[in-house]
A and B are shown apart, each in its own frame.
Chain A
């Protein structure tokens, strides 16, 4: 039975690819970007669970848990007024300008493992930047609202995204934490829509979905 379902699944996918090649359905590919530990994978998982029932990838408090970009295709998000958007969500590795394995040692990781993690994370950033250049139609830029939004990497990334004329929604995440100040993020990036959410608890994600339909639809 399981094998049958798998075969059926593959066949279904092939068939839909076949149809897509005819109808060239324009899908919007949305990249979730942001510094490490902003909650990108948590949000990607939530979006995937809310609209498809699946998950995207594992989450960890150690930075650079996501070291390869992960894609979840054909997510159909529908808004309150009945309009829908079909999109692929790409969860990307945390973007940073410095990766040092010493940082992982603090989490009790062995040196060898930490060095490998650091190397993979570096490749991951390169991969995320590659996606941004060629395959992304819109960006969700995640920020931890308990931290200073004026970090150099954020200013740089928003600048890069703007220079590519990509629509961007800034998500002020972790509003479940007591010292979260999403207002600081709003004043840092007044030129872009900012949605304050808790990806972990799911607070206010409906707002984000509505904004996504508005900006990426």
Chain B
């Protein structure tokens, strides 16, 4: 199997195929974009005096972009991904999960910051509602 080395699109530094180094960005310039180049064309950029970006345009090869994991930005949890039906932000302030309420009568209440819940077991243990109009 042919190997396809990577080249940093910014400075042209070469990396072996499958190198995990590039996940932290280019060791020389800190570039985040890498191009797969054919083994035989590894020096094409130098020989033809082109930038890696120009070669990327010519070869139509996909440019690999290393995406940094955002660690500081806290992702907003979508309403429907939440486990609770009601969140008590503070006494008298509530956030209601309508999608959840539309599906079930089960009540899970979260208190304050994410991660603290009150589960109403009674609401989950209730029998299925009896058929309407059925009287004994």
- For A112, give the chain B residue with the smallest CB separation: B92
From B15-23, B51-59, B98-106, the one touching the partner chain is B98-106
- Encode B75-93 as 1/0 by CB contact (under 8 A) with A: 0000100000110010111
Q: Is B95 an interface residue (CB 8 A)?
A: yes
Known A24-B133, A118-B94, A129-B101: A97·B79 in contact at CB below 8 Å: yes
Known A122-B86, A126-B86: A101·B93 in contact at CB below 8 Å: yes
Instruction: Return chain A residues, CB-CB under 8 Å to B113.
Output: none
Smallest CB–CB gap between B110 and chain A, Å? Answer: 13
* Tally of chain B residues near chain A (CB < 8 A): 22
Partner of A95, one of B85, B95, B98, B132: B98
Instruction: Return chain B residues, CB-CB under 8 Å to A126.
Output: 85-86, 96, 101, 107
Contact at A157–B92, with CB atoms within 8 Å? no
- For A156, give the chain B residue with the smallest CB separation: B98
Known A21-B135, A115-B91, A134-B129: A98·B96 in contact at CB below 8 Å: yes
Q: Is A119 an interface residue (CB 8 A)?
A: yes
Instruction: Return chain B residues, CB-CB under 8 Å to A98.
Output: 93-96
Taken together as a complex, chains A and B put the C-alpha atoms of A59 and B86 apart, in Å, by 26
Q: Is A153 an interface residue (CB 8 A)?
A: yes
Taken together as a complex, chains A and B put the C-alpha atoms of A130 and B95 apart, in Å, by 17
Smallest CB–CB gap between B82 and chain A, Å? Answer: 11
Instruction: Return chain B residues, CB-CB under 8 Å to A153.
Output: 98
Instruction: Return chain B residues, CB-CB under 8 Å to A172.
Output: none
Contact at A160–B99, with CB atoms within 8 Å? yes
Taken together as a complex, chains A and B put the C-alpha atoms of A101 and B129 apart, in Å, by 33
Known: A98-B96, A122-B96. 7 other contacts (CB 8 A): A95-B98, A99-B93, A100-B93, A101-B92, A130-B105, A153-B98, A156-B99
B residues neighboring A (CB under 8 Å): 79, 85-86, 89, 91-99, 101-103, 105, 107, 129, 132-133, 135
Can you name 23 A-B residue pairings with CB atoms under 8 Å?
A95-B98, A96-B96, A97-B96, A97-B97, A98-B93, A98-B96, A114-B92, A118-B93, A119-B92, A119-B94, A122-B94, A122-B96, A125-B96, A125-B98, A126-B85, A126-B86, A126-B96, A126-B101, A133-B102, A133-B105, A153-B98, A157-B98, A160-B99
